[in-house]
Structure 1
Amino acid sequence: MARDAAGEQPRPLWRNRNFTVFLGVQTLSVAGDSFSILAMPLLVLHATGSVVQMGLLTGLAGAASIFAGIFAGVLADRVNRRALLIACDVVRALVYALVPLVWLLSPRVWLLYVVVPIGAALGMVFQVTYVTVVPGLVDEGQIMKANSRLYGTYSIANITGPVLAGLVSAMYGPSAAIAADAGSFAVSAAGLCFVRPRSRSALAAGEAPPPVPRAGWKDVLVGARFLWRHPALRSLTLLLSFLTFLTLGLNDLIIFHLKHDLGQPDSAAGYVLASAAVGSMAAAVLAGLARGFLGFGACWIGSYALCGVAISFIGLSANVPTMAVPATVFLFCRGIAGICSMSLRQEVTPDRLLGRVTSAFWTIHAALGPIGAALLTWGAARYGVAVVCLAAGITCLVTALCATLTPIRHPRPELLPVLEGPSASRLPGNID
């Protein structure tokens, strides 16, 4: 894809300036983003003392992501992707900066119900576009390695981010941590100005890709149709809908359990999330080896089965160390499954459809997440965190075992044939 005419081997990722800059600025952005992941629930808990409101805010953010996801793929495939990433970062920096500015005068919880959905919607557009950019930054055969490298450095950022967020929140309040997040988006936008991604079609042909036809409403369904035609992606999308329903509110449960049930300070939540991020870092190192040795099916199914066991034990934790262990296992297993899933989608999807396929994938499997977050936090307030986590963990385990009856079980689902049908010829940007 990006080799020269002499057939030289792909250059190492560390010598790829575009990828290195992209990796650096996004790692900084993730470190800042981990501030708001911890600070937003703490801000709500400090102001209201209600785990239900934490769940409602998480659910509202999920709903905004789903709505944005309907159109995010069309945007990513139709406009300049780098410009779209920069615009998302700039607007998020401005929106999140409103929270600490307003909190200097007086807490206004209603503002969070405006800022968080806007930030979540822009985050969805950014994530979809980010996935489409990565293949254009690396050489042929390096997608899995690039995703692992990105996930690894993000994991390091997620180790330091929550610790610093917890300390900042304990000393200056959660609004100060959100201010740091706003600054990270501004730095990320500046760094992206120096990244020059190219489409895979351009890399393959050695010239600029042809102009893309004007988008229509039917374009929104293109990604969903491609997912339906690919047997493994179809099964992944459906099963992940249930798994997202069970796990979207998990951070809220962890923070509520630490603060309400165990009486821990804000910094304790940062320590738990930071230690758990070690699992994500380990997943980044081992995902490629695990998929190569065990195959896709065993990695994905085994990972989510262990996730179910870990979730069950989170609610039974009696202190910070015993909560950190299952949380670490959960992020490790989810990381393995996530890297494998994203790499598979990038490998089998043509570049001109990658934005719409990614958008459809995330939108569909996230659809039940807001409902799940609201129900899990409501259940925690009514029945306790231990009962809710046990029920969610068992259901997660059963869902993972159901995958053994689907094409996900294949060790190399990227080789499975795409289903043909009458609708295939009518797809805009039809697959050759």
Structure 2
Amino acid sequence: MSTRGARESATSTGCSKQKPPGLWGNPNYRIFLGIQTLSALGDSFSYVAIPLLVLHSTGSVVQMGVVTALTGAASILTGLFAGVIVDRANRRRLLMLADWARCLLFALIPLVWLFAQPMWLIYAVVPAAGVFMMLFRVAYVTVVPAIVGPDQITRANGHLFGTYAAASATGPALAGFVTSAFGPAAAIGIDSATFAFSALGILFVKLRPARQDSARSGVERAGVRAEFLAGVRFLWAHPVLRPLTVLLSLLTFLTYGLTDLIIFLIREDLGHPDSTVGFVLSAGTLGTCLASFAVARVRQRLGFGASWIGAFTLCGSAIVCVGLTGSVVVIGVLATVMLFCTSIAGTCSMSLRQEVTPSHLLGRVTAAFWTTHSALGPLGAAAVTASAAGFGVTATCLGIGVSVMGIALGAVRCSDLGEAGRCVGGAW
């Protein structure tokens, strides 16, 4: 399933005079957590239903990869200007706009599917929704520090990931049943409704006002290109964010099409129905839930570098095992391990960016980070699914898993990332 800001976080040495309330005592945080959990439940329906809709209509794993690649490409292109928009706009209104847009776009699919099944609509709607998804994700990251205190960011992100997982644990299974009974278009319609509820809920979330910072003055008036490059320059100058972005670019290329691969493996190679796909993907989301409870402690004990490197090393091992098994139960367990690992790494990575980036740059740095490390994703999705069609899922999973482990272990040699492994708090 951010993105999401109005204050410098943990790198700031000047603290607020009043200690912020605990997370559960913060009504804005509770509301935000609740509505995003509901939205995650809806997202899990489309997470299953869109690939199944393409598979039902075309019977082609390559076409599944094309839709995934187009969506990724739309998100990446949006990332070129999303940060500028987020840092200029009212962030709460932008979240609502993104939700309403996705609500209307996804509502088109079940409405049109009542009368016809034009595949061009999928190729148009899903990438368009990806544009607003990227805007939402960038804004979402920026508003979290505007809702919680600087020392609460990692725990808040862990809770958000965890509640998403709790909602998503049942979502894919329910989506599988809905798809089996009424077709995948109906499941996409449910996702559309949850975006409407999320947009309404954001009305009740109040953000702390942005602190004016004299560092903003020059670049804020320099135009869109200069504003975007301000985020890129900060990202590239930071001793940990720079190597992290490069490594994640390679990992994204390898793993972007992994969900399509697992769905195709269960549905076509192993011959199981849509409901089984839903159950396996639901089992996988339990890994995110487990990670939400563990991430703050793992990072506190091991530091950022060791947490991130260890998570992706274990993830690569699990991908290798997916290629070696023919049991859907084992695939479900391995999916849990993979999402546990990627959630640990992702939460640590997002929290680090929120902690070290000044508030007025957070939208642009987030957009630059995601745009850069996601740039190879669409190409990777097309390559992975084409590899599965040509060489089989087993060989493709083995290649992906070994490569992921190699990249993760190679990060040990990066001195800056290794130095981050000794930092336990987050001011790095």
Compute the TM-score of the two structures, normalised by the length of structure 2.
Answer: 0.92
Residue 11 of structure 1: CA displacement?
Answer: 1.2
Partners of 1:9 and 1:106 in 2: CA distance: 57
- Residue type of the alignment partner of 1:256: F
1:242 maps to which residue? Answer: 250
Partners of 2:58 and 2:388 in 1: CA distance: 16
Once the two structures are superposed, the pairs formed by residues 328-407 of structure 1 within 5 Å of their partners are: 328-406=336-414, 407=416
Partners of 1:313 and 1:224 in 2: CA distance: 37
2:174 maps to which residue? Answer: 164
Please say if residues 355 and 427 of structure 2, whose CA atoms lie closer than 8 Å, have aligned partners that are also in contact. Answer: no
> Structure 2 residue aligned with 1:117, among 120, 127, 140?
127
Partners of 2:124 and 2:422 in 1: CA distance: 43
- Residue type of the alignment partner of 2:78: A
Change (3 A) 1:409 1:212: closer
- Residue type of the alignment partner of 1:175: A
Residue 243 of structure 1: CA displacement?
Answer: 0.4
Do residues 304 (structure 1) and 276 (structure 2) align?
no
> Structure 1 residue aligned with 2:265, among 242, 247, 257?
257
Residue 190 of structure 1: CA displacement?
Answer: 0.5
- Residue type of the alignment partner of 1:266: D
Residue 211 of structure 1: CA displacement?
Answer: 12
Partners of 2:304 and 2:43 in 1: CA distance: 30
Partners of 1:343 and 1:91 in 2: CA distance: 28
2:417 maps to which residue? Answer: 408
Do residues 58 (structure 1) and 33 (structure 2) align?
no
Partners of 1:78 and 1:6 in 2: CA distance: 25
Partners of 2:170 and 2:25 in 1: CA distance: 26
> Structure 2 residue aligned with 1:128, among 134, 138, 146?
138
Once the two structures are superposed, the pairs formed by residues 417-432 of structure 1 within 5 Å of their partners are: none
The aligned length equals 410
Residue 8 of structure 1: CA displacement?
Answer: 4.7
Residue 219 of structure 1: CA displacement?
Answer: 1.0
- Residue type of the alignment partner of 1:18: N
For residues 309-340 of structure 1, the C-alpha deviation after alignment (integer angstroms, 9 at most, x for no partner) is 11111122212101111111100000100110
Do residues 282 (structure 1) and 295 (structure 2) align?
no
For residues 119-147 of structure 1, the C-alpha deviation after alignment (integer angstroms, 9 at most, x for no partner) is 11110110000000000001231111111
Please say if residues 150 and 355 of structure 2, whose CA atoms lie closer than 8 Å, have aligned partners that are also in contact. Answer: no
Residue 213 of structure 1: CA displacement?
Answer: 3.8
Compute the TM-score of the two structures, normalised by the length of structure 1.
Answer: 0.92
Structure 2 unaligned spans of 5+ = 1-6, 9-14
1:80 maps to which residue? Answer: 90
Deviation larger for 7-16 or 63-72: 7-16
Residue 7 of structure 1: CA displacement?
Answer: 4.6
Please say if residues 135 and 200 of structure 1, whose CA atoms lie closer than 8 Å, have aligned partners that are also in contact. Answer: no
For residues 227-248 of structure 1, the C-alpha deviation after alignment (integer angstroms, 9 at most, x for no partner) is 1100100011000000000111
Partners of 1:8 and 1:108 in 2: CA distance: 57
1:420 maps to which residue? Answer: none
Partners of 1:128 and 1:216 in 2: CA distance: 16
For residues 239-285 of structure 1, the C-alpha deviation after alignment (integer angstroms, 9 at most, x for no partner) is 00000001110000010001100110001111111111111011110
Partners of 2:248 and 2:163 in 1: CA distance: 25
> Structure 2 residue aligned with 1:266, among 274, 296, 308?
274
Partners of 2:274 and 2:27 in 1: CA distance: 39
Residue 6 of structure 1: CA displacement?
Answer: 10
Partners of 2:256 and 2:220 in 1: CA distance: 37
